[in-house]
Amino acid sequence: MIRRNRPARRSVDEAGAEQAVAGGVRLQRVLAAAGVASRRAAEDLIASGRVAVNGEVVRTLPVFVTPGVDRIAIDGRPLARQAVKAEGNDGRLSAARGLYIMLYKPERVMSTTFDEGGRRTVMDLVDHPAIRGETPVGLGGDAGRVFPVGRLDFHTAGLVLLTNDGALTHRLTHPSFGVTKTYEVTVRGSVADADARKLEDTLAHAHRKASRRGGKRSRAERPIALRVAGQHQGKTVLEIELAETGERPLSDLLHEAELKVVKILRTKLGPLELSHLPVGGWRELERDELWALRDAAGLGRKKPKPRPTPDGSRPAGGSPARRPKPSARRGPRAPRPRSTDA
């Protein structure tokens, strides 16, 4: 059933993601989450009459659909009903089949999906079927549109995560969730204590501005962590861990602190560490890496509740189990025997 009017607004925190999806989701959001196109491009597809819902071509927005129930087709090709899922309690949608790729981005490469100036992007370095488009995007169970998580400066090398998981991307990039990024920065000369304090103040100021812009305070226990990792041949290597710097790249903040930067390398994203990759190489995440990353973002697997033991004792690692209630009701109490004393 196509709904053209917005459904009654409900609190996502109270109703949960399932209720948000049940109440109807904008058609362009579903297409974007399934990997058909970006949300803006999906709106153009709808306006051009290339999208049908339950056999009816739609051209006018807004249109609300129920993922998994309504039949959606693009250019006559059906979208898999299970291509989109809701995740978390914020009503966000993600592709049902998750794809997670770690890339060792070289310098002078854009961390975007497209560059109008013709410069190389991270998408040019990953030779994956979901990125090459050899399988139907979002149709018949493909991984869907893959995009880089956050941004990395044009002249900065290091770890970039590519995924189609919108819920995870939101939590990794929003400052309120406090997922940190770690950088290895090489600068010329030695770094005095005064220089380190000035850099910490610059990074802390940028972090506070980014947190205010996001509307929520960062959960990171240590938004800024800086230490000298080593010195060699007139150069100093700094290890910087921070949660968010806003729209300003780290290189600008380092120059503002009057440091002569030689190289910036992102080595970690939360618990995910750049490893087993040459410059420009890529690989899919291992299962343990993925779950550690999801745990850091607050999207870990739900642990099964321990089953109660027959004797009602405390299960291992859980709360004490309740004793089972008797199935039969108690009968009337027997009268107390009278005293026989004379």
| 169 and 87 in a common domain | no
Q: How many CB atoms lie within 10 A of CB 7?
A: 12
Asked whether residue 306 is assigned to any structural domain, the reply reads no
Which of the listed residues 95, 129, 164 is the one where a domain comes to its end?
Answer: 95
| 205 and 65 in a common domain | no
| 289 and 214 in a common domain | yes
pTM to 2 decimal places: 0.63
Summarize the chain as % helix, strand, coil (round to 5).
25, 25, 50
Strands 77-78 and 92-95: unpaired
- Phi, then psi, of 271 in degrees rounded to 5: -85, -10
Burial grade of 315 (CB within 10 A; 0-12, 13-18, 19 or more): middle
Query: For every one of its 342 residues, what pLDDT tens digit does the chain have, with 9 covering 90 and above?
Result: 555 554 444 333 333 333 343 458 889 888 877 767 677 878 988 999 999 999 999 999 999 998 878 889 888 888 766 566 665 555 566 655 678 999 999 999 999 888 888 999 999 999 877 665 544 444 433 445 688 998 899 999 999 999 888 788 888 988 788 899 999 999 999 887 777 888 888 877 776 765 565 454 555 545 678 888 888 889 999 999 987 666 678 888 888 888 889 999 999 999 999 988 999 999 999 999 999 999 999 887 644 445 455 555 554 544 444 555 555 555 556 666 665 554
Catalytic residue, from 70, 142, 153, 165: name it: 153
Element (H, E) at 295: helix 287-296
pLDDT, one tens digit per residue, over 296-319 is 998 876 444 454 555 555 545 444
pLDDT, one tens digit per residue, over 21-66 is 345 888 988 887 776 767 787 898 899 999 999 999 999 999 999 8
Strands 235-242 and 272-273: unpaired
Q: How many CB atoms lie within 10 A of CB 156?
A: 24
Note whether 81 and 44 are within 8 A (CB).
no
Which of the listed residues 95, 125, 144 is the one where a domain comes to its end?
Answer: 95
The C-alpha atoms of residue 272 and residue 149 are separated, in whole angstroms, by 13
| 142 and 70 in a common domain | no
| 177 and 77 in a common domain | no
Burial 249-264 (b: 16+ CB within 10 A, else e): bbbebbeebebebeeb
153 part of the active site: yes
| 192 and 170 in a common domain | yes
**CA-closest candidate to residue 145, choices 126, 128, 131, 161:** 131
Asked whether residue 122 is assigned to any structural domain, the reply reads yes
Indicate the number of domains in the chain.
2
| Domain hosting residue 66, numbered range | 12-95
